[in-house]
Chain A
């Protein structure tokens, strides 16, 4: 059964700094999703990574996928307070049931 692990679980970072969130998954996944969730709110889709080597960027966030290593990363460049949220990755096994990671709670402080 596919398992998805994210680390770190909690990340406190200073504005202007760079950091990476890691998402490992245990078995074959057709694609990889990244979502953002603000406290008390729903999930906002950030990226859908469809194939090995895929890289997508939006603003200060960049996501990549390495299917051979079963690893996806979400890189944050020059963090700003508005990026404070919980970030989830989710993998899609052949069963077509999305499996979510535990989430990384990001807090950006001045």
Chain B
């Protein structure tokens, strides 16, 4: 079974621009979560989408947004890029909504998109 895919894998943008990252979950998985990984802040939860609805959100400014489509694919958008947005953005998919419920307690991570803001 194919794993989680993310596109593009690498991206270089300039401050002030916006960027859209894409994530395709494992077939049959309906939940997609996004994480940001930086050397300074480590791994931080951005948001989770399930059935096209944002189910949970981390502590990030409104410049970070996302959406999920009916086929469970998800996109993440960052507007007005700042240097501090340079990071590895990981998406993860799981069967059901969230991890605390009994339906799904494991998530599978994609290879990530490395975003560099100059």
Contacts and interface: CB of A to CB of B under 8 A. Distances in A.
Interface of A: 30-31, 35, 41-45, 48, 50, 88, 90, 92, 94-103
B42 A42 contact: no
B51 to A, nearest CB: 15
Interface of B: 33, 35, 42-45, 48, 56, 58, 90, 92, 98-100, 105-112
A9 to B, nearest CB: 11
Contacts of A99: 45
A42 B90 contact: yes
A42 B45 contact: no
A101 to B, nearest CB: 8
A99 B41 CA distance: 12
Given A42-B90, A97-B58, A102 B99 contact: no
A41 B111 contact: yes
Contacts of B106: 45, 48
B105 A97 contact: no
Given A41-B111, A42-B110, A43-B90, A96 B99 contact: yes
A43 B109 contact: yes
B95 to A, nearest CB: 13
B110 A92 contact: no
Nearest to B91: A42
Contact of B105 (A44, A50, A101): A50
A94 B101 CA distance: 10
B21 to A, nearest CB: 14
A110 B105 CA distance: 37
Given A92-B99, A94-B100, A48 B45 contact: no
